[in-house]
Each structure stands twice: as structure tokens, then as C-alpha cells.
Chains A and B, each alone.
Chain A
Amino acid sequence: MTRRPIEELVIGYARGEPMDVEELERLRAECSASAAVASELRAQEELTRRLAELRKAMRIPEDAFDDDRLLDSFRAAHARRATRRRRWRLGVGAAGIAASIALALVATLDRNEDATIRAASTQAPAPPVDASAAPATPAWAVFHPLPFSPGVSTGTSYSVVRVRIPASSFPAAYTAEPYASVEADLLLGPDGIPAAIRFVDSDEVFVTAAANSKER
């Protein structure tokens, strides 16, 4: 254990810091032997006393605190935090939906094209937005039912939303053009849940991805 310098002991003692017996004996001896150390100790004790007085005298003015203003600020800040949390949750929700759609697309691409077309024609004989789909229409222009969706039925009104999906959502297209995108129409049911998807252009990336999927 290192020996503390006497100046440190003097100030430590004056501040009322805990000291061990050996240090206390040393301080006592130094005070007896040296008038300067004793004088320094007196000065430090006086300083401690004055600092305590100063601390006590620093009374807070009665009118120093505007409690109402602070409480108003607290309420406003809490409301702001709640809004931020709600927005964040919405963002996460939207990202989740986008991810689900991307997964659904990958699953759709993995199916056999004929089976897909057949399924679409049985489940969705005449979706209002795709009534003109002819057998000669390219595969990417037909609505494909999405897995885990309630399916498409007649007599229900649907709306179509055009979306642009990053090609990177399709694992098979990764090597081709990772920054390209695919344009598609989503068939949304009355509950807002996508029921089917139709690719609107023959984007090379998508075609490559679809071809790769079929080969697998």
C-alpha cells in the first residue's frame, strides 16, 4: 500500500474522510513536529466549515421553480414520445407486410407455371380488374393468388395497387441485377390484404428469376 502524502492526509482529515489508524498517527506526529502542517490543518478545517456554511446559505429562492411549466413540458414530451412510438410501430408493420409480400412472391415463383395459371383460373375465375386476361397473355401478366391469402372470389370488390419491388427480394435474381426492381399490381381485398399479384412488365430480371425458379 502506498503512503499518502501528508498534504493529502491533512485535507482528507479536514473533510472528514475515513482514515486508518496508521494514517491518523502519522498526521498527529506531523502536526506535533511541524507548525506549518498544524497551521495548514487549521486552515483546511476552517475552509471545510465555511464551505458547509456556503452550502447551507445557498437557499433556493421560493419562486425559483415554475412547476406548472415543467409539468406541461413533461406532458408534451410524453405525448411526443408516444407519437414517435406509434410511428415506429407503423413503420415496422409496413416493413413486415412488404417482407411478407416478398416471401409470397418467392413462393409463387417456385411453383410450376401451369399449376399457377390453373390455380388462378379456378380460384379467381373473373376478378374484376383482370377480366380481360386471355390464354395468350404472358405468364407475368396474370394474377397469381398469394399463398396464405383468403383467395379471390367473385362478387367481391377488389382494388389494384401498383408497387415496385426490389429485385433483391427474389433470391434467384440476386446475381443478375441486385439494384433492379420489378413492377407489379397487387389485388387488395376489402380488408386491405393482398390476395393476388400480377407482374406488369417483362423486366429482364424478373424473367430471369422466374426462369431460374422454373428450372429448379
Chain B
Amino acid sequence: MTATENEDALLLRDLIAGDEWAFTELYRRRRGEIYRFAFAMTRSAALAQDVMQDVFLRLLEDAARFDPSKGTVRAWLLGCARHVVLDRLRAEGRCATEAPADDESIASCPAEDAVFQQQRLAQLHAAILSLPMEFREAVALCEIAELSYAECAAVLGCPIGTVRSRLHRARALLARRLADTVDGEAPLRRVNEVCG
């Protein structure tokens, strides 16, 4: 367990004891990841905010249920977020793969040259949302929330090998779907390192 993870566990312990500062601190530390994960899964800023609030409200009731032997506080919180997201998507009938048309996702940038960039990110986000749910979860957790394979496995409740294979298949699908939109600017530096 890293120092940050230890601190999270201590904050959770203090939170259970009623320490308001511990709650605020844990909230400030982890809200960003939860928001990003929810946003990556739904592409709706409003829904992501709701999910984030829901997770922390649930934390107030269920904090004592955290079991450190099953994973980190971060993975536990993202596991809660996953349940909330899936519940919301089910309620809205949005569990199937989709590519929503709305574009409220990416923070807007006024510069003209950034518009193209924004479009490309929106395409990528749409491609993520078009993946089957288990692949979408793997991408959102490993690539957006930056969880390790082990943490992701704890969140999803499946073996690490399954996470790895889901992520790899998801990435292969994403790369294929984005192939047409790649503008030719490839990151050749590292490739050249490898391929000579």
C-alpha cells in the first residue's frame, strides 16, 4: 500500500469517527477521479456530478463497510461510483452501446485551432461510449481514472487477466474505429525508438 493509500485509509477511519476535516479532505482528493470516471461512462456532466455526490453521500452511510483487505479506498470509491453509474444508465435505458449526439463533455476552448482538437476528443469519447459495457468500464477505469490492473480488478470483481484482456480488446477496437479519423500526425518518436 502506498503512502497516499495509507492516508486515504486513515482519513476514512477518522471520517467514521465523525471528523469533518477528514471527510472534506477525502472528498477533495478523490472527487476528480470519480467525476472523470462517471463522465467517461456517461458523457454527461450533470449525470457525472450527480454520481459524484451520490458516491460521497453513500460513503457517509457505508464507510464502516470498507474492507482494506479487498482493495484501496480509491478502488472502493470507484466501485461505488460504478454501481451508481450502472444504476443510472439502467434507469435511463442507456446500458446498450451508444454514441450520444450531445457534446457537453469536453471543457470548451475558445481558440479556433482548439476546436478541431475538441472535435477529435469528442470522437474518441463517442468511440468509448460505443464499446460494449465491460470494455467501456475497463477503459474508463484504467485509462481515464488511471487505476492499475489490480485496482480495476477489485472494482470489477474479476481476475486481473480478465481486466487486461478486456482493456486490450477495447483498445484494439478503439484504434480501429479511430483509424479513419487519424490526421496523419502519429507519435513516431517512440515508434522510431523501437523500430529503428
Q: Chain A interface (Cβ within 8 Å of chain B)? A: 7-8, 11, 13-14, 24, 27-28, 31-32, 38, 40-51, 53-55, 57-61, 64-67, 69-71, 73-75, 77-78, 81-82
Contacts and interface: CB of A to CB of B under 8 A. Distances in A.
B39 A58 contact: yes
Nearest to A70: B56
Given A28-B195, A31-B195, A71-B20, A46 B45 contact: no
Nearest to A52: B143
Contacts of A48: 187
Consensus secondary structure, chain B interface: helix
Q: Which 7 A-B pairs have the closest CB atoms?
A: A77-B60, A31-B195, A43-B175, A59-B107, A78-B18, A57-B106, A45-B187
A38 B20 contact: no
B111 interface: no
A41 B172 CA distance: 10
Interface of B: 18, 20, 23-24, 27, 31-32, 35-36, 39-40, 45, 48-49, 52-53, 56-57, 60-61, 105-107, 117-118, 120-121, 124-125, 139, 143-144, 146, 164, 167-168, 171-172, 174-175, 178-179, 182, 186-188, 190-191, 194-196
Contacts of A77: 60-61
B31 A65 contact: yes
B191 A64 contact: no
Consensus secondary structure, chain A interface: helix
